[in-house]
Amino acid sequence: QQKHPPLLLGSLFLVIPFLPAANLVVTVGFVVAERLLYIPSLGMVLLLVYGAQLLWGTFIRQRSLLLCAGIVLLLVFCGRTVARNRDWASRQALIRAGLKTLPHNAKLHYNFANFLRDTGQLDLATKHYREALRLWPTYASAHNNLGTLMSGPEEAESHFLAAIRYSPNHVNAHYNLGQVYRKANRSEEAARMLERCVRLDAAYIPAYLLLARLYEGQEGCDPAVGRLLRHVAHLQPNSPDHLAELAAWLHQKGTYCHNLEAFFYYNKALRIEPTHMESLLGAARVLRAKGQYTRIHHIMQRVDSSRRRNINHIIGRVKQDGRNHYESLSPETVTTREQRGKLCSNSNDEVQEVSVSAAVVPNMAGHREQDLNKSRQTRCGPTRCGPTRCGPTRCEPTRCEQTAGSNRSRGRKSSSLGARPQTAARNIKVEPPSLLVQNLLETLK
């Protein structure tokens, strides 16, 4: 029967969980060791509480002294905790605190170099990578990361080869070396490195994509490109980017069957992300090749609504007509929305005519005429205001109202094409016109 069971229990909690973190039996990383050290701290707390209980019961007359000593000790540990919390305030503070304690630790220099590289301090990052390699010359990850910062291909290649030499299964080193060979037009060596990379890690997506791009320009490699892109789409079936890339490659083949399959993958990507811009535009190109203009109109409406929600999704030549004109206005010249409604442009590009036959796209003619009428109501074209009536940046309100009136008469004439009658210029909210058909033609060129 044990006389001091708390002492035994606290000792077991302190010693046994500490053995794996001590690297006496097996070597573990610092992440595992740090997690394991929380359990020995439980044993330390049990021993401290049990020791305080014994002291409190043994030294009855000195309890006030013990209480003061305990309070002082508690304050000291509280101050140490506050100081340590400052080290944990950020990633940079934690690594710097570690470097102060262990300046000769290669992993700390490596971690600090990673932080410097992520924050754009490339010169300092290179310095700490080299310091890590000086302390640990066979550190494969440091060789690999240092190679990515080298401007010369020869020095980068030497570091990647060193990383592979010290760690033959280093996937990133094989991939980076394949990139170096590809940029140097050493296609066979690049393909060999990338193929070895996917053998080491069958789920390494960037290697498959780079290998597909490498094979794409080579004669007789189309089946290999298709297999690689299909495999990527199989590995990540919920990635609209990879589905769109496969669909774009299929559409380039130009055959009817390839176009059908391309539209299937574009449609699958749009089911995952309905506003995926590449898939929307790619599907529109496929439908144009098939002559389905009505469905193109619906897709371009989705493109227009998507880019209105997020202007950063505007790609290529898909623009909102008039948006650039409004954004280029200086706030000193025009400060209110009402003043912007009176602006008159001297450029021939402000109101563009869309030369699309109504017979080809009958269901779009009304929308086109309506958008053009809205554009003319809110702006004065170059032929409406002469140099004697308009200044360089604005025209007289009376002249613009006359222009709006002429546009309203045109709007009544265009009712035969399905356009709705236009309202007065003063009731129209000044916004950039959509011009879906024009965007369609510009995008699909």
- Given this model, what pLDDT does residue 233 score? 92
pLDDT single digits (tens) 254-301 = 888 888 888 899 989 988 988 888 888 888 888 888 777 777 777 777
Position 234 scores a pLDDT of: 92
Supply the pLDDT for residue 252: 86
Taking the domains of the chain in order of start, what are their residue ranges?
Answer: 5-87, 342-350+359-435
With CA atoms as reference, report the closest residue to 279 among 250, 308, 311, 320: 250
pLDDT attached to residue 445: 53
CA atoms of 267 and 208, how far apart (whole Å): 23
Q: How far is CA 92 from CA 29, 112, 135, in A?
A: 20, 7, 21
Which pLDDT score is estimated for 2? 59
More reliable by pLDDT, 124 or 351: 124
Q: How confident is the model at residue 20 (pLDDT cuts 50, 70, 90)?
A: confident
pLDDT at 127 > cutoff 90? yes
d(CA 76, CA 236) in angstroms, rounded, equals 54
What's the mean pLDDT in 437-445?
Answer: 51
Q: Looking at residue 199, what is its pLDDT?
A: 93
Task: Provide the pLDDT for residue 353.
Answer: 31
The predicted-structure confidence for 69-79, as pLDDT tens digits, reads as follows 989 999 999 99
Contact 390, 330 (CB under 8 A): no
pLDDT digits (tens, 9 = 90+) for 30-40: 677 777 778 88
- Average pLDDT (156-179) is 95
- Residue 374 predicted with pLDDT over 50: no
The string of pLDDT tens digits covering residues 410-439 is 444 444 444 444 444 444 443 444 444 455
pLDDT higher than 70, residue 203:
yes
pLDDT, mean of residues 112-140: 95
212-243 pLDDT per residue, tens = 999 887 777 888 888 999 999 999 999 999 99
State the average pLDDT for the chain: 74
Residue 387: pLDDT above 50?
no
Residues in CB range of 249: below 8 A, 6 or more apart? 212, 216, 225, 226, 229
Q: 67 pLDDT exceeds 50?
A: yes
Residue with tokens 């992440």: 31
pLDDT value of position 288 = 85
Cβ–Cβ < 8 Å for 140, 160: no
State the DSSP string of 230-280: HHHHHH-TT-HHHHHHHHHHHHHH--HHHHHHHHHHHHHHHHH-TT-HHHH
- Measured distance CA(394)–CA(344) in Å, rounded: 5
pLDDT at residue 439, as a whole number: 53
Q: How confident is the model at residue 13 (pLDDT cuts 50, 70, 90)?
A: confident
pLDDT bin (cut points 50, 70, 90) of residue 161 is very high
Task: Tell me the pLDDT tens digit for each residue of 292-326.
Answer: 777 777 777 777 676 666 555 444 444 555 555 55
CA 193 remoteness from chain centre: 27
Does the pLDDT value for residue 147 go beyond 90? yes
Most confident of 162-171, 273-282, 348-357: 162-171
CA distance 163 to 147: 9
Q: Average pLDDT, stretch 373-377? A: 46
Lowest mean pLDDT among 44-53, 109-118, 148-157, 292-301: 292-301
Q: Beta partners for 390?
A: 395
Q: Locate tokens 């035994």: which residue?
A: 8
Greater pLDDT, 43 or 36: 43
Greater confidence (167 vs 389) lies with: 167
pLDDT at site 22: 76
For the chain, what's the residue count? 445
Least confident of 7-11, 47-51, 232-236, 293-297: 293-297
